[in-house]
Amino acid sequence: MSTPATASVLVVDDEPDLRTLYELTLLREGHQVVSAQDLAQAREWLTQRRFDVLITDMRLPDGLGLELLRELSTSQRTEKCIVITAYGSAENAVEALKTGAFDYLTKPVDLKQLRAAVSAAQQSQRHVPEALQPGSAADGPRPTITPTAEPRSAPPPPAGVRALACIVGDAPSIAQIKGRIEKVATSMAPVLILGESGTGKELVARAVHECSHRAAGPLVAVNCGAIPESLIEAEFFGVRKGAYTGATQDREGYFQAAKGGTLFLDEIGDLPLAMQAKLLRVIQERRVRPLGGVQDEAVDVRLVSATHRDLAALVKTGEFRQDLFYRLNVIELRTPALRDRREDLPELTHALLQRICDETGQPVPRLSAAALQWLQSRELPGNVRELENLLQRALALSSGHTIGPDDFGDTELDTIPASIESPSQVDPCVAPTQPSPGIPTDLQTYLDQQERLVLLQALKETDYNRTAAAARLGLNLRQMRYRIQRLGIAMPSDDNDAG
């Protein structure tokens, strides 16, 4: 097997000049390179020996480069494939990734990106025991690619195993998503995570990152719905000193901060249209230009996006760009709603209690059978987040070593005071009781509590329609969502943004 610095590479391109250029570039990096001018020659090489990386042009005289990818996949070979596509050909790039390409490059190929892609592909090759490696050069060339007994990938690294373990549950839908995370983690293909609020989309994004060869790099998580529109471009692409009054120094954007790692775009469905166009350009060109900058910078991130909204429906209504959707949705992962995996509730409850107590340093109480039954009887439309909130509340209210059904009290949505104006209705720890108005001992907590009550009342009165509740309070939907998230308000349904 190659040392980490040296990869064995097969380059397939019918243009002799380009072949030479790629070969020289990679040889200079210390890689071992052989080349082929068409599919037939490439197949011959592949029957003779194993490579770390295969770089192939999309269009070849005797067929499409994708045929090689399919053959390698059928034969369970582990070569990482990089496909070179024509400039602006989004369909080809997406098809290549869906066929299992590790990455793609667009023509004219930037040699720096070529080097980076080969090195990333090489790093993502998991260690395979020498004995399992196929393809000694003993046999002569044969026209088909040799299947091997080699598994497609070894188990994920320890951080990946830990991240997967954080996704609690044994339901088939959870087992399936974990399996898919492991499978997709080793490619550069963009991942789109879909699922209701509170179903663990962020946990899934983290697991994709931790299982990937980019795990040593940063994971930068961005809530696209919470950034004020006027700041969004600077936040994503960075700012050069002097770009505007107040820009007194260069500042990195999310793309720069995530270099070598993963950029997690949460609530991607809330990205304004103008920003969608800019994001698309960055994905296509793999370059960003900071605000006020004169030079583009190469982008080296893997994109993982998530949303609780129906992106395909947003595409239909023109709220989300189809071309961007197509680009982000190369690999789709769906997190199941809690109601569709009720069997996981006991295990989840136990794991969440353990986690909350670890964080607060308190002993883990026992959950009585009646308490578990009480939880089982709830609808829990806010999914695992709602379960977590309920347990937190029960822990705060329970006095003994056991949590009983009474410790859950009334659910918060049932206990909104008739009038939100009376401070006597709020927690006495943070607000003074009547008749003396006094002053709260923790102003921020007091204000948060007041804001929470106002929001809950507005939501309740509008049947939990965020748009209507926001209008009642003189807020826009973006501001409303931000507040709901900041204050951890569990919503009964995810589809109530409209009208």
Ligand X SMILES: Nc1ncnc2c1ncn2[C@@H]1O[C@H](COP(=O)(O)OP(=O)(O)OP(=O)(O)O)[C@@H](O)[C@H]1O
Site residues, ligand X (CB under 6 A)? 167-169, 195, 197-203, 266, 308, 335, 348, 351, 384-385, 388
Q: C-beta of 202: minimal distance to ligand X in Å?
A: 3
Q: Nearest Cα to 119, choosing from 300, 263, 284?
A: 300
**Contact status, residue 182 vs residue 153, Cβ threshold 8 Å:** yes
Exposed (0-12), middle (13-18) or buried (19+): which is 108, by Cβ within 10 Å?
exposed
Angstrom distances, CA of residue 467 to CA of 237, 263, 341, 377, 379:
30, 29, 30, 30, 23
Angstrom distances, CA of residue 290 to CA of 220, 277, 284, 357:
17, 16, 17, 43
Q: Nearest Cα to 459, choosing from 422, 492, 417?
A: 492
Q: Which residue, 280 or 345, has its beta carbon nearer to ligand X?
A: 345
Please enumerate in sequence order all residues whose Cβ is within 8 A of that of 475, keeping only pairs 6 or more positions apart, or say none. Answer: 483
Q: ∠ CA(74), CA(75), CA(77), 5° rounding? A: 110
Give the count of beta carbons closer than 10 Å to the beta carbon of residue 149.
Answer: 7
**Tokens matching residue 93:** 């790039």
Give the count of beta carbons closer than 10 Å to the beta carbon of residue 21.
Answer: 16
Q: Which residue, 92 or 335, has its beta carbon nearer to ligand X?
A: 335
How does DSSP classify residue 253? Answer: -
Q: C-beta of 161: minimal distance to ligand X in Å?
A: 15
Q: Nearest Cα to 220, choosing from 183, 259, 189, 162?
A: 259
Q: Which residue, 42 or 204, has its beta carbon nearer to ligand X?
A: 204
Largest interatomic CA distance in the chain? 95
Q: C-beta of 169: minimal distance to ligand X in Å?
A: 5
Q: C-beta of 166: minimal distance to ligand X in Å?
A: 6
Q: Measure the CA–CA gap between 44 and 139, rounded to whole angstroms.
A: 11
Q: C-beta of 206: minimal distance to ligand X in Å?
A: 8
**Contact status, residue 384 vs residue 199, Cβ threshold 8 Å:** yes
Q: Which residue, 112 or 486, has its beta carbon nearer to ligand X?
A: 486
Q: C-beta of 236: minimal distance to ligand X in Å?
A: 19
**Contact status, residue 283 vs residue 327, Cβ threshold 8 Å:** yes
Q: Which residue, 26 or 348, has its beta carbon nearer to ligand X?
A: 348
Q: Measure the CA–CA gap between 150 and 75, rounded to whole angstroms.
A: 9
Q: Which residue, 31 or 385, has its beta carbon nearer to ligand X?
A: 385
Q: C-beta of 481: minimal distance to ligand X in Å?
A: 9
Q: C-beta of 495: minimal distance to ligand X in Å?
A: 13
**Contact status, residue 58 vs residue 85, Cβ threshold 8 Å:** yes
User: How far from chain centre, in Å, is Cα 471?
Assistant: 31
Angstrom distances, CA of residue 59 to CA of 11, 103, 165, 287, 322:
13, 16, 42, 25, 26
Q: Which residue, 145 or 489, has its beta carbon nearer to ligand X?
A: 489
Q: C-beta of 119: minimal distance to ligand X in Å?
A: 31
Q: C-beta of 168: minimal distance to ligand X in Å?
A: 3
Exposed (0-12), middle (13-18) or buried (19+): which is 245, by Cβ within 10 Å?
exposed
Q: C-beta of 306: minimal distance to ligand X in Å?
A: 6
Q: Which residue, 161 or 243, has its beta carbon nearer to ligand X?
A: 161
Q: Distance between terminal CA atoms of the chain?
A: 60
Q: C-beta of 198: minimal distance to ligand X in Å?
A: 5
Three-class SS state of 3: coil
- Pairing type for strands 366-367 and 402-403 reads parallel
Q: C-beta of 94: minimal distance to ligand X in Å?
A: 25
Residue number of the CB atom closest to ligand X: 200
